[in-house]
Structure 1
């Protein structure tokens, strides 16, 4: 389970986001990262029971580096102030829509869905909404899904996309440029002994939407 010391380390890192401080506290970082990896390992074992293509995925391949890519960023802080991981077949670089988790002080979250899709995949999404909107709507409008993920996130067009009428009955979905769902957790929730089970419950609810997207975006053979 996640320890309070992990949040304390992340708070300290946020206040002292320099390479000098990080190097001076490298041992603490390694200890707290190990706590996060242990949690992810337990979560991954639970995910393997609901998603067969994760069966041979190693937890270390799911963990993101804490170093930030600052090449094109005005913010030159060298480190992220959170631990993060993505659970797809083979790890974080699966190329599929996967479960993403981020452990951060007062901002811990689970997320997944259509985020920054390619033009091709966005076209597939809109075409499917045009032809068969009910499959997606049955997933995201179910009471169980809405209870766990009540809010849709992501960018959308102000007007209708090219090729679709502004009077289209599914225009709200067609305007989506992104469509992902997020569940945030308080520190108190994260520190509970049953937090892994809580996270798995939300993953099970999110899974049908991720499966829908992965099937839709599967490359044509």
Structure 2
């Protein structure tokens, strides 16, 4: 798999170099390295991971069209660094990068990166019916969380409110109060450099998607 994907030490050398020299002149001088050692292998990974979900409980799609640009949008940022120092891309139900719900996200960074699967940074309007459903179908949600735990997975609480959301103060003692504070419903998994170099990231992505399918179905059923 590693030969198909094309990742190598040069992949991480490029990302490290970009972190230390985040400027257009350096990137232009190393553009071929970006294409050969980063962009093309990452596209191949997205395509292979999408193929690995076929026949599973949740089939996702992606490739070149669902990879994010490495250029940063600096129009409204104080940080004018022109490039991201990590690479990201999505797998979605339709293969459309604009789709942000029930997706898988692959993040390649100098230290390895991470995988995520689920729903990211939902709006208050999107969260209300999900929170109501967690309250109304509490035992079903408990069962979903239990089956995730059996697979060694847990819902991330990285993107959560500190206090109960407006309108839910009466549920501060609810068995799922911590999840009522969630703004994202994601499963997360850290990756090492070796996971990319060996191609293990493909099967790891497919496994995370399969494990997250029931959670995605519960959240989407509103």
Flag structure 2 segments of 5+ consecutive residues without an equivalent. none
Partner of 1:87: 91
Q: Which residue of 1 aligns with 2:217?
A: 211
CA 1:174–1:193 in structure 2 vs 1: closer, same or farther (change >3 Å)? closer
Answering whether residue 114 of structure 2 is matched by residue 104 of structure 1, we say no
Specify the alignment match of 1:124 in structure 2. 129
> 1:141/1:76 Cα in 2 relative to 1: closer, same or farther (>3 Å)?
farther
Quick check: 2:46–2:91 contact (8 Å CA) kept in 1? no
**Normalising by structure 2, what TM-score?**
0.85
Cα RMSD of the aligned pairs, angstroms, is: 2.2
CA distance in 2, matches of 1:160, 1:91: 31
Partner of 2:150: 144
**Number of equivalenced pairs:** 213
Q: List gaps (5 residues or longer) in structure 1.
A: 217-221
CA contact (8 A) 2:58 2:209 kept: no
SS in 2 for 1:97: strand
Is the Cα contact below 8 Å between 2:50 and 2:206 reproduced in 1?
no
The CA deviation string for residues 85-112 of structure 1, in whole angstroms up to 9 with x for no partner, is 1111123212432001111111411112
Matched, 1:74 2:78: yes
Corresponding residue to 1:196 among 180, 202, 212: 202
Secondary structure of 2:198's counterpart equals coil
